[in-house]
């Protein structure tokens, strides 16, 4: 069974630009969660999508948004990039989500904002 895949793996952007990250969950998983990991703040929950609907949202500004498609693939978008958005962005998938079961993580997308 293929694992969670994330594309691209590395990305360099400049301040003010926008970026879209993609996550393909394990086949059959309907929940996709996104996390941001930085040396200063550690891991923080961004949002969770289930059956194409945002089910839960962390404490991030509206510049961070996402969506989920009918095949459960998910995209995350960050608009008007700031230097502080430089981070490793991880997505995780699970069958039903809600954090109540094992999540399977992708390798992450490392974003550098210059």
Partner 1 sequence: KQEVTQIPAALSVPEGENLVLNCSFTDSAIYNLQWFRQDPGKGLTSLLLIQSSQREQTSGRLNASLDKSSGRSTLYIAASQPGDSATYLCAALGDSNYQLIWGAGTKLIIKP
| Pair of tokens at residue 30 | 């309907």
Least distance in angstroms from the C-beta of 58 to partner 1: 6
Least distance in angstroms from the C-beta of 11 to partner 1: 15
| Pair of tokens at residue 62 | 């509206």
Residue with tokens 């994330």: 6
Q: Which is nearer to partner 1, 72 or 103 (CB)?
A: 103
Least distance in angstroms from the C-beta of 15 to partner 1: 26
In the shown chain, the binding pattern of residues 24 to 53 toward partner 1, with x for contact by CB under 8 A and - for none, equals ------------------xxxx--------
Is 44 in contact with 26 (CB distance < 8 Å)?
no
d(CA 63, CA 65): 6
98 binds partner 1 (CB under 8 A): yes
d(CA 72, CA 99): 17
Residues of the shown chain interacting with partner 1 in the complex, contacts defined by CB under 8 A = 4, 42-45, 56, 58, 90, 92, 98-108
């Amino acid at each position: 069974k293929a694992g969670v895949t994330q594309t691209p793996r590395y990305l360099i952007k400049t301040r003010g630009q926008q970026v879209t990250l993609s996550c393909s969950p394990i086949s059959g998983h309907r929940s996709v969660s996104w996390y941001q990991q930085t040396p200063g703040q550690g891991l923080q929950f961004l949002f969770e999508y289930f059956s194409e609907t945002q089910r839960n949202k962390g404490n991030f500004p509206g510049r961070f948004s996402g969506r989920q498609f009918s095949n459960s693939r998910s995209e995350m978008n960050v608009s008007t990039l700031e230097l502080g958005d430089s981070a490793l962005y991880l997505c995780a998938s699970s069958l039903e989500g809600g954090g109540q079961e094992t999540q399977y993580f992708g390798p992450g997308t490392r974003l550098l904002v210059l």
